[in-house]
Structure 1
Amino acid sequence: MTAPRHVPVLLDRVVTLVAPALAEPGAVLVDATLGLGGHSEGILTACPEARVVGIDRDRNALQLAGDRLATYGDRFTGVHAVYDEIPDVLAGLGLDQVGAVLFDLGVSSMQLDVRERGFAYAEDAPLDMRMNDTEGPTAADVLNGYPVGDLARILREYGEEKFAMKIARAIVREREKAPFTTSARLVELLYAEIPAPARRTGGHPAKRTFQALRIEVNDELSVLRRAVPAAIDAIGVGGRVVVESYHSLEDRIVKQAFTAATKTDVPDDLPFVPEGHEPALRLVTRGAEKADQHEIADNPRAASVRLRAIERIRPRPAARRGASR
């Protein structure tokens, strides 16, 4: 099995954003997408008073990250879960609120660099793409089992693929000859179906289809729609949620959740905000921050990152708080 490597994206900026929320002894960061633990390691080093709860649905990543972070002792706790299960994870640990939540979305280094997981289109590998590789349908199951209309829909909606229907029809036609099992055959089909002028722009012609399949297999967008509000609800006053997104579909969900959380219920034409109606949260970043050229040169995976952060400035409504701390 090929070995994974990990260069955390925008590590210094992430540390800068979460550090103010982790200054108090015992302050907790939830690393909701632990991966190989690079961000958690940087935060544990820079924030000596903090603890980290690392969540990942991939047991292999949890094991590797746990080994990497073992020197921090009980300052790190790994939990096998999906990141929309944040409320259950915190309840299980007896935590009512936390200082910060970090999401580094998309496919992890663990999954990209281990060929056998089937996330990368650059080399032939089994069409798996499950972030939790012990349960659920694989990308091959989607390709071989979905009707043409559903295939076209996920390619169009999740991959933003202009040739979605053309590709879907070709998949259905080819799977009647033999089922899809590995990535090379799918990549070959995409080269054949996507017109040459389109292949010369927008990166690798397989990028959008592989993204769409990965999102479908792991239900990523639905999970994210639940996870971001749950993270916002989990932070106390001064707490922050930081999200790194890697494509427009993710970033749009994050932007909408942050916008909703920072709005007031006061009509726009009212000249002032009455006491008690102020937003409970504020945006920390102005729009979505991007990696600079130096970061991208050091870590090409940073090229598409969009980073947003939000901070709680007023307490949560009492009815939404848990009973334990």
Structure 2
Amino acid sequence: MEKRFAHLSVMAEVAPPMVVTNPDGTYVDATFGRGGHSRRILSLLSPEGRLIAFDRDPQAIESAKEIDDKRFSIIHAPFSHMREELSLKNVDRVAGVFMDIGVSSPQIDDASRGFSFRMDGPLDMRMDTSCGQTAAEWLASASETEIARVIHTLGEERFAKKIARAIVQSRVTDPLVSTQQLAKLVAQVVPANKKDPTQNPATRTFQAIRIHINSELDELSQALEAAMDLVEDGGRIAVITFHSLEDRIVKRFFDEKAHPERRFDSRLPLRASELPAPELTDIRRILPTEEECAANPRARSAILRVATRVRTGRPA
């Protein structure tokens, strides 16, 4: 039986109303987690409305069984596959797509999942424990160069090369199989953060390896493209992110779709009517309130970005 871990969905009162523009429509919660946002979306739908959720975590799929609502269904698949999975259900248009990016509190707080350095557990880090390579398996086989690249690029860690060298040297006699092993090894190489002494030296390394193991940034990019194909004219795409790499992808994607004319040289003799029409409009950036951040520390780094899909040419 799954252990219970408390989870407060970030911006659960703010984000769903931004997505639901038509109570009778079909919506997608692309990251079900433990269902906080899904339940709020369902509360905003009419009896004719419909919510289809996605998650690649088997524990999340199991948790979804608690929702006894004929308007709700869930699919065990990465959100990057939403277009193909919905096609199998003869759904090619939806009224809105919501995404809450990153690891959830139950995943972090469950030592057996291997996401956190705070507790000792197997070095797993897979969001879908039914398939794929674990963090331990990757660290046992990846080259020093590859490990350094991942930690530097995805963790923005200045000491990535030193960490990679220590991992490769250590695994010869002491393979890394637990979270505490990795955390202690990194702590021997990375000096304490002078700006924030409370930050664990392994924070950036764990983040980088988790993102790599789950291909999180590629998944996000693919999911955004899928959402663009699915959302109907006037419908919305809403995304909550928790660190700069994710937010940068969403911000750039929304900006490019809202301003496709920027791809053209302004010196070209083109009329405004000859430029491509925007595919997104009414872009908003929303931060959690001070009250929510005080009640739920995980909300402090959250950014909600919302955009409206445009399929009928230039908005008025």
Query: Taking structure 2 as the reference length, what is the TM-score of the superposition?
Result: 0.91
Q: Does 1:138 align with 2:134?
A: yes
Aligned match of 2:224: 228
For residues 284 and 92 of structure 1, the distance between their equivalents in structure 2, rounded to whole angstroms, comes to 31
Paired AA for residue 62 in structure 1 = I
In the alignment, which of 23, 32, 35 is matched to residue 33 of structure 2?
A: 35
Aligned match of 1:180: 176
Aligned match of 1:52: 51
For residues 100 and 275 of structure 1, the distance between their equivalents in structure 2, rounded to whole angstroms, comes to 29
SS in 2 for 1:65: helix
Distance change in 2, residues 1:19/1:161 (3 Å):
same
Aligned match of 1:303: 300
- Displacement of 1:268 in angstroms is 4.7
Q: Is the 8 A contact 1:236 1:315 kept in 2?
A: no
Query: Taking structure 1 as the reference length, what is the TM-score of the superposition?
Result: 0.89
Aligned match of 1:8: 9
SS in 1 for 2:174: coil
Q: Is the 8 A contact 1:66 1:78 kept in 2?
A: no
Q: Does 1:196 align with 2:197?
A: no
Q: Per-residue CA shift, 1:257-297, capped at 9, x if unaligned?
A: 11111124376578973288432320330xx3222221111
Q: Is the 8 A contact 2:97 2:238 kept in 1?
A: yes
- Displacement of 1:46 in angstroms is 2.5
Paired AA for residue 295 in structure 1 = E
Q: Is the 8 A contact 1:264 1:278 kept in 2?
A: yes
- Displacement of 1:113 in angstroms is 2.3
- Displacement of 1:50 in angstroms is 2.6
Q: Per-residue CA shift, 1:27-46, capped at 9, x if unaligned?
A: 11111111111100011012
Segments of structure 1 that go 5 or more residues without pairing to the other structure are 317-325
For residues 274 and 190 of structure 2, the distance between their equivalents in structure 1, rounded to whole angstroms, comes to 57
Q: Per-residue CA shift, 1:112-170, capped at 9, x if unaligned?
A: 12221111111111100001001111011122211111110000001110100011111
The residue correspondences of 1:1-325 to structure 2 (distance < 5 A) are 2-20=3-21, 22-23=22-23, 25=24, 27-48=25-46, 49-67=48-66, 69-70=67-68, 72=69, 74-198=70-194, 200-201=196-197, 203-265=199-261, 268=266, 273-274=272-273, 277-285=276-284, 288-315=285-312
For residues 243 and 134 of structure 1, the distance between their equivalents in structure 2, rounded to whole angstroms, comes to 26
For residues 252 and 38 of structure 1, the distance between their equivalents in structure 2, rounded to whole angstroms, comes to 25
Aligned residues: 308
Paired AA for residue 18 in structure 2 = L
Paired AA for residue 296 in structure 1 = C
Q: Is the 8 A contact 1:139 1:213 kept in 2?
A: yes
For residues 122 and 59 of structure 2, the distance between their equivalents in structure 1, rounded to whole angstroms, comes to 17
For residues 276 and 176 of structure 2, the distance between their equivalents in structure 1, rounded to whole angstroms, comes to 56
SS in 2 for 1:9: coil
Q: Per-residue CA shift, 1:22-66, capped at 9, x if unaligned?
A: 33x2x1111111111110001101233531101011122111022
- Displacement of 1:109 in angstroms is 2.6
For residues 174 and 115 of structure 2, the distance between their equivalents in structure 1, rounded to whole angstroms, comes to 21
SS in 2 for 1:162: coil
Paired AA for residue 6 in structure 2 = R
For residues 37 and 245 of structure 1, the distance between their equivalents in structure 2, rounded to whole angstroms, comes to 17
* Identical aligned residues as a percent: 38
Distance change in 2, residues 1:200/1:255 (3 Å):
closer
Q: Is the 8 A contact 1:191 1:199 kept in 2?
A: no
SS in 1 for 2:20: helix
For residues 79 and 196 of structure 1, the distance between their equivalents in structure 2, rounded to whole angstroms, comes to 43
- Displacement of 1:185 in angstroms is 1.2
Q: Per-residue CA shift, 1:81-130, capped at 9, x if unaligned?
A: 11111111110111120011011000123311222111111111110000
Q: Is the 8 A contact 1:36 1:109 kept in 2?
A: no
Paired AA for residue 38 in structure 1 = G
